[in-house]
Amino acid sequence: MPTGCLRLLSLVEKKLRRIDCGWHHLQSVAALVCALLIFAAGANSAGATARPGPHVTNPLLVATALGETDIDAETQTGRYSLLVRQIQLRLAEIGVYGGRIGGVMSAETAEAIRTFQRFANLPVDGKPSHELLEVLTSAAGEAQHLLLRLDQAQQDQIAQARNDLEQAFGPDWAQQARAVVVGAKPDLEALKARAKSCYQTPEPACLIVEAEHAAESVEKDNLRDWALSDVIQAQARIGQADQALRVARVISDPRSVIAALSGIAVSLARAGRVEEALAAAQQVPDAKLRDKALRAVAEGQLAAGRPDFAEVTVSLIEAPHERLPTLVATAHAYLAHGYGDVAHGLAMEAERLADSITAELFREWALSEMASLMAAVGEGAKANMMIARIGSAKNRVQALCDIVIVELRSGRETRARQTLEIAESTMKAISRPEERQQARACLAASHAALMEFDKALKQARGIEFGYMHSFVLSRIVLAMARNHQMVEALRLVDSVQDMKLRINTYVTLSRIARQGGDDDGAARLGNQAIALARDLSNPLDKAFVLADLATAQAAGGDGAAGRATLSEAVGVAAKIADPWARARALSKAASALVVINGI
Q: Mean pLDDT for each consecutive 10-residue tract of the chain (599 residues)?
A: 40 43 40 40 39 34 33 46 81 78 82 82 83 71 50 65 72 54 55 85 93 91 88 85 81 78 78 82 84 86 88 92 92 93 95 88 88 94 94 93 92 94 94 90 95 96 89 95 95 94 94 91 92 94 94 87 94 95 95 88
Interior CA angle at 378 toward 375 and 383, to 5°? Answer: 35
Integer Cα distance of 552 and 178 in angstroms: 40
Integer Cα distance of 594 and 599 in angstroms: 9
Integer Cα distance of 157 and 288 in angstroms: 14
Interior CA angle at 567 toward 191 and 214, to 5°? Answer: 35
Give DSSP secondary structure letters for 467-523.
Answer: HHHHHHHHHHHHHHHHTT-HHHHHHHHTT--SHHHHHHHHHHHHHHHHHTT-HHHHH
DSSP label at 63? P
DSSP, collapsed to helix, strand or coil, labels residue 82 as helix
How many H-runs (helices) and E-runs (strands) does the chain carry? 29, 0
Is the Cβ–Cβ distance between 34 and 124 less than 8 Å?
Answer: no
Instruction: Say what angle helices 579-598 and 539-555 make with each other, to 10 degrees.
Output: 0
Is the Cβ–Cβ distance between 21 and 150 less than 8 Å?
Answer: no
Which pLDDT score is estimated for 138? 61
Residue 353 is inside which H or E element, if any? helix 340-355
Integer Cα distance of 584 and 229 in angstroms: 9
How far out from the chain centre does Cα 156 lie?
A: 27
Residue type, position 43, single letter: A
Integer Cα distance of 13 and 33 in angstroms: 11
Residues 6+ away with beta carbon under 8 Å from 21: 153, 156, 157, 159, 160
Integer Cα distance of 595 and 486 in angstroms: 29
Indicate the Cα dihedral angle 296, 252, 224, 149, nearest 10°: 90
CB atoms within 10 A of CB 397: 29
DSSP label at 95? T
Which pLDDT score is estimated for 120? 73
How far out from the chain centre does Cα 342 lie?
A: 32
| 473 in a structural domain | no
Indicate the Cα dihedral angle 62, 58, 72, 567, nearest 10°: -20
Q: How many domains does the chain have?
A: 1
Integer Cα distance of 556 and 594 in angstroms: 16
Residues 6+ away with beta carbon under 8 Å from 336: none
Domain residue limits at 15? 3-169
Integer Cα distance of 548 and 423 in angstroms: 36
The sign of the CA dihedral 170, 24, 114, 40 is: negative
Residue type, position 208, single letter: I
CB atoms within 10 A of CB 208: 30
Q: Counting beta carbons within 10 angstroms of the beta carbon of residue 584, is it exposed (0 to 12), middle (13 to 18) or buried (19 or more)? A: buried
The sign of the CA dihedral 219, 221, 224, 228 is: positive
| 327 in a structural domain | no
| 143 in a structural domain | yes
Longest dimension (CA), the chain: 75
Which pLDDT score is estimated for 333? 93
| 418 in a structural domain | no
Integer Cα distance of 503 and 485 in angstroms: 19
CB atoms within 10 A of CB 10: 10
| 249 in a structural domain | no
CB atoms within 10 A of CB 391: 11
Integer Cα distance of 527 and 22 in angstroms: 49
Residues 6+ away with beta carbon under 8 Å from 449: 404, 405, 408, 479
| 11 in a structural domain | yes
| 572 in a structural domain | no
| 263 in a structural domain | no
